[in-house]
Amino acid sequence: MNKFLTSLLLLLFISCQEKGEAQKNTLWIYTSLYKDTINEITPALKKEFPEVEFKFFQAGSEEIATKVNAEMMSGNVQVDVMISSDRFWYEELEQAGKLLKYISPKAAGIADSLKSSGGFYSTLSLPVMVLCYNKDLINIEMLPKTFKDLANSKYKNLFTTGDPLASGTNFTTMAMLQHHYGWDYFKNLKNNNTIGQGGNSSVLRRIQNGERPIGWVLLENVLRFQDKDKRLKVIYPKDGVVTNNNIIAISKDTGNADLAKRFVDFMYGKVGQQQMVKSFMYSPIPGFAAPKGAPEFSFVLKNSFPWTREFLSSVRDSRMELKEKYTEIMFQ
Amino acid sequence: MRLSFRINFFLIFICGAVVALSFSPFFSLFKQVVVASNPSVLKKVFSSSSTILAIKTTLIVSLTTVLLSTLIAIPLGWIFSRSDLKGRESWKTLFSLPYAIPPYIGAIAWIMLANPTNGILNNLFGLSFNIYTLTGLIWVMSSFFYTFILLNITNLLSQMDPSLEEAARLSGAGPFRVFREITLPLIRPGLISGMVLVFLSSSASFGVPALIGGPGRIFLLTTKIYTYQKMGSFMGINYASILSIVLFFVAIISLVINSFLLRKNSFGVVSGKSSRANLFALKKKAPLIQVILFIGLFVLLILPIFGILLSALAKVQGVVSLNNLTFQNFYKVFFEISEFSVAVKNSLMVASAVASLSVLVGFFVVYAQQKTRIKFLKMTDLFISLPYATPGTVLSLALILAFSGRIFGIISLYNTIALIGIAYFIKYLSFSVRALQSSIVQIDNSLLEAAQVSGAGFIKRIFSIWLPLLKPALISSWFLVFMPCVSELTMTILLTGPGLETLGTLLFQLQNYGDASGGGAAVLGLIIITMVLFINYFVKFISKGKYGL
């Protein structure tokens, strides 16, 4: 019996053991880019890097943060390159000395506000947070013009957002609006029975099925549906859209710095950036077209909440308090 | 019972190994977190008003869920095993099925059905259900968790020596009195361990509270832990881990109560002198009970599955009309998502390996606890239940900390499917232990002593007494572990890596990311349910209806 058990255990381990040894030419990329984006770019990657095996771990920004933090706590870091949308987390990593200093020469043209001041990370693409509504379920004259409008009690039971605790872009939006409108704004949202749950896809689903006909949601999520669900319409809020930064950075503990840098360069190259646009995000590099169905980037930039260094550092340092305060308002 | 030194050693070894494995993640976590943080942090976490509110609400929700689940499970269990109801075997299977549905999927279905704005039930029948309430949350949890108790007690009831009940009945006791005075005390071990399981499950569950508690503003301990963990900062991880200690204590207290109640009076009721049970004749009440059962089943199973089906067949979500029906979601999942086959393979492989191992190890653990005189082995129970009482996200985090290094300098389990397997094993081992516990308690020592006196060795006793008597319990405990593993999500999401997709992570992908109609997740939910059904019926078929749910 004893032998039987031991061999069973061994069998379990052996059969499950994939190639345990990390190969020199393997690059681990943790990303919150959507899976189809990864799938679409893979052939080009294979062509450019025939000798390299790319290992993509795909999850939400906050999952990636948790996984990478745990790896860093354990002292055994597997990740080489990270791409995700919680810029404040990268600020914290930079401060903690966990990132490799690198800005791709191909990213030279992007605005300074889209890079780390120390040169540790840069913006790969820009998802944009807008308002969206289901035109079958709400009257034209009821439509909000700004984010701020939604605090009005006439939007009771009509509005939904994502969960700032679960989604990086939703957290950024929450932080930005809190910065400008204070906590009263969120108290009013709460009084309006605003549902703030899940990621952007959950928000869109609630708009589609009418549980809440208006929501804040990423433009890319709406544009993916532009041919399939004609009921969905976008509002570019007059007080500003919230531009999010999809950040790319290299872990300091990468054993493969050269390869990681080449990968970052590739992502800033023509193929990489065109894929970002194809996935309905804006490219930070001037000269790339806007995503299909989206307005010009200049329009978005002109009408967006500003990213200041002061905002960035204050949110980086108060991230925990912000999330806690938000939870307190929404739940208690 | 006296056992040889070798066997005792073997049992101690098994229990020791299991305890070490279950405790290893917490050890790393504590080392990392508790030791590193100062008392002021502890004070801050535990004295905040939101923590106290969270603990209070968690207790209310969990205890009420236990109560409601018990109220649903006991009458069902009795009808399925003690009455002459027609088709009670099929009824039993059907009522056990909610166990196979991931509660997360169930919550999505219930939100579709009964949200206050445009829930289908509210729209169709002019009702005003609101799922986003404390009652709604407790209802959704109970409508899945009652199966824990049901499966536990139907097993016991079908194994129990019916002569005791017969004796009571012959002496003139009515059915309710027989139930209250004979049956209930006899199934108490199973009932209590089922209730403890429900309590632990509801206090540590996150999926359902996240979906319903968010809009309903219901603040639970797991919500708070999640909040901390999702701060994305190192500090947040510390706070989350500190707070999950509360759940450890909840677990420890409930398990101590459990073992105290079990010790007070345990009977050996399966004595080998079994006869067929005399079933209680329902007579004229039979049609009425059939109708009640149908209504119950409709509410517990058919309605939510209908909701999932509607979502799976929808071209765009939220439009209920004939020309919105399509099979393209199915087509997409089967043929266009390349990870689908990998996910099915991974999930089936890991879940069946883990289930088999859990049953095997679980048997020896319970054996060691109940049939040896080694007192400290009773503690095993406590340790293996700790992972279950810990929220999945905290557990997987702890596992990353514990296993990211190399074991003996050779292999690293991190980012392999083995670590996912270990996570499932330590989380769900207590399921098999609990299911076996209640059955093993009932087996009278006289049988074993008789065998021993006749010269049967340990292994012979296992094959000639334990296996035949425990077969139903072994098989159902296999299912108890297999099913949650097949669709596990919360732990897997952090432990998964390239090529390690499982049905749970794929479901999460489809639910959360650019999925054209939003029906993909529902399709996958249906596939999981169908798969489990198929396996269940396959087992029933090859065992000629004896085993399976």
First-residue to last-residue Cα distance in chain B: 33
Asked whether residue A20 carries a pLDDT value surpassing 50, the answer given is no
Q: What is the mean pLDDT of residues B406-414?
A: 68
- Out of B242, B263, B284, a domain closes at B263
| Mean pLDDT of all residues belonging to chain B | 82
> Quick one: which of B91, B81, B280 has its CA closest to B176?
B280
Q: Quick check: B149 and B198 in contact, CB under 8 A?
A: yes
From the candidates A6, A16, A221, A279, which should be mutated to test the interface with B, based on the most B CB atoms within 10 A? A16
Asked whether residue B333 carries a pLDDT value surpassing 60, the answer given is yes
Q: What is the mean pLDDT of residues B60-65?
A: 96
Model confidence band, residue A22 (pLDDT cutoffs 50, 70, 90): very low
Q: Which B positions 499-528 lie with beta carbon below 8 A of chain A? A: 499, 509, 511-518
What is the total count of domains within chain B? 2
Residue among A17, A60, A62 minimizing CB distance to B411: A17
pLDDT for A21? 43
Report residue B463: phi and psi, to 5°.
-80, -30
- Out of B212, B244, B263, a domain closes at B263
Asked whether residue A288 carries a pLDDT value surpassing 80, the answer given is yes
Model confidence band, residue B71 (pLDDT cutoffs 50, 70, 90): very high
Rounded distance, CA B385 to CA B368, Å? 16
Q: Are residues B357 and B250 in the same domain?
A: no
pLDDT for A330? 87
A207-225 pLDDT per residue, tens: 988 889 999 999 999 998 8
CA-based torsion, B411, B416, B422, B425: positive or negative: negative
CA-based torsion, A165, A166, A172, A178: positive or negative: negative
Q: Which B positions 95-124 lie with beta carbon below 8 A of chain A? A: 111-112, 115, 117-118
pLDDT for B378? 74
Model confidence band, residue A293 (pLDDT cutoffs 50, 70, 90): very high
Asked whether residue B232 carries a pLDDT value surpassing 80, the answer given is no
Q: HEC states along chain A?
A: CHHHHHHHHHHHHHHHCCCCCCCCCEEEEEECCCHHHHHHHHHHHHHHCCCCEEEEEECCHHHHHHHHHHHHHHCCCCCCEEEECCHHHHHHHHHCCCEECCCCHHHCCCCHHHECCCCCEEEEEECEEEEEEECCCCCHHHCCCCCHHHHCHHHCCCEEECCCCCCHHHHHHHHHHHHHHHHHHHHHHHHCCCEECCCHHHHHHHHHHCCCCEEEEEHHHHHCCCCCCCCEEEECCCCCEEECCEEEEEECCCCCHHHHHHHHHHHHCHHHHHHHHHCCCECCCCCCCCCCCCCCHHHHHHCECCCCHHHHHHHHHHHHHHHHHHHHHHHC
A154-205 pLDDT per residue, tens: 999 999 999 888 788 999 999 999 999 999 999 999 999 999 988 888 899 8
Asked whether residue A138 carries a pLDDT value surpassing 50, the answer given is yes
pLDDT for B88? 82
Rounded distance, CA B63 to CA B27, Å? 29
A70-105 pLDDT per residue, tens: 888 888 889 999 999 989 999 999 999 999 999 999
Determine what percent of chain B is predicted with pLDDT higher than 90.
16
pLDDT for B246? 79
Q: Are residues B360 and B473 in the same domain?
A: yes
Rounded distance, CA A28 to CA A56, Å? 6
Strands A214-218 and A128-134: antiparallel
pLDDT for B283? 78
Instruction: Give me B488's structure tokens.
Output: 């596990």
Q: Is B493 on the interface with A (CB under 8 A)?
A: yes
Query: Which of the residue ranges A134-138, B265-269, B465-469, B544-548 would you say has the lowest mean pLDDT?
Result: B265-269
Asked whether residue B32 carries a pLDDT value surpassing 80, the answer given is no
Task: List all residues 6 or more positions away from A150 whose beta carbon is below 8 Å from its beta carbon.
Answer: A144, A159, A189, A192, A194, A214
- Cβ contacts of A198 on chain B, cutoff 8 Å: 211, 512
3-state SS, residue B442:
helix
Rounded distance, CA B350 to CA B84, Å? 39
Q: Which B positions 169-198 lie with beta carbon below 8 A of chain A? A: none
Count chain A–chain B contacts defined by CB atoms under 8 A: 188
Q: Are residues B252 and B356 in the same domain?
A: no
Rounded distance, CA B278 to CA B166, Å? 7
What is the domain extent for residue B361? Answer: 1-36+327-549
From the candidates B50, B133, B230, which should be mutated to test the interface with A, based on the most A CB atoms within 10 A? B230
Q: Would the CB atoms of B514 and A34 count as touching at under 8 Å?
A: yes
Q: Pinpoint the residues of chain A covered by CATH 3.40.190.10.
A: 20-126+245-294, 128-243+311-331
Rounded distance, CA B527 to CA B518, Å? 16
Q: What is the mean pLDDT of residues B295-314?
A: 88
- Topology classification of domain A128-243+311-331: D-Maltodextrin-Binding Protein; domain 2 (3.40.190)
Report residue B195: phi and psi, to 5°.
-65, -40
Distance from CA of B12 to the nearest CA of A (A): 12
Asked whether residue B1 carries a pLDDT value surpassing 70, the answer given is no
Other CB atoms closer than 10 Å to residue A188's CB: what's the count?
17
Q: Are residues B346 and B374 in the same domain?
A: yes
Q: Are residues B481 and B535 in the same domain?
A: yes
pLDDT for B51? 84
Q: Are residues B44 and B152 in the same domain?
A: yes
- Out of B223, B247, B263, a domain closes at B263
> Quick one: which of B507, B510, B485, B527 has its CA closest to B392?
B485
Question: Which CATH number belongs to the domain containing residue B502 in this structure?
Answer: 1.10.3720.10
CATH code at A20-126+245-294? 3.40.190.10
Q: Are residues B201 and B233 in the same domain?
A: yes
Q: Are residues B250 and B390 in the same domain?
A: no
Instruction: Give me B396's structure tokens.
Output: 């997987």
B112-137 pLDDT per residue, tens: 888 888 888 888 888 888 999 999 99
> Quick one: which of A168, A158, A164 has its CA closest to A197?
A164
Instruction: Give me A289's structure tokens.
Output: 């077209």
Q: What is the mean pLDDT of residues A259-277?
A: 96
Distance from CA of A204 to the nearest CA of B (A): 9
Residue B296 lies in a domain: no
Distance from CA of A319 to the nearest CA of B (A): 7
Q: Got the DSSP string for B334-367?
A: III-THHHHHHHHHHHHHHHHHHHHHHHHHHHHH
- Give residue for tokens 């930005």: A176
pLDDT for B272? 52
Q: Which A positions 223-282 lie with beta carbon below 8 A of chain B? A: 224-225, 228-229, 231
Residue B98 lies in a domain: no
Model confidence band, residue B369 (pLDDT cutoffs 50, 70, 90): confident
Other CB atoms closer than 10 Å to residue B465's CB: what's the count?
18
3-state SS, residue B270:
strand
Residue B116 lies in a domain: no
Q: What is the mean pLDDT of residues B505-531?
A: 75
Q: Are residues B69 and B171 in the same domain?
A: yes
Q: Are residues B32 and B48 in the same domain?
A: no
Q: Are residues B347 and B236 in the same domain?
A: no
- The residue of chain B nearest to residue A88, with distances taken between CA atoms, is B232
Rounded distance, CA B115 to CA B111, Å? 5
Alpha carbon B22 to chain centroid distance? 17
Task: List residues bridging with A41 in a β-sheet.
Answer: none
Q: Packing angle between helix B417-442 and helix B339-371, nearest 10 degrees?
A: 40
Q: Are residues B257 and B361 in the same domain?
A: no
Q: What is the pTM of this model?
A: 0.83
Task: List all residues 6 or more positions away from B428 whose beta carbon is below 8 Å from its beta carbon.
Answer: B354, B358, B388, B480, B481, B484, B485
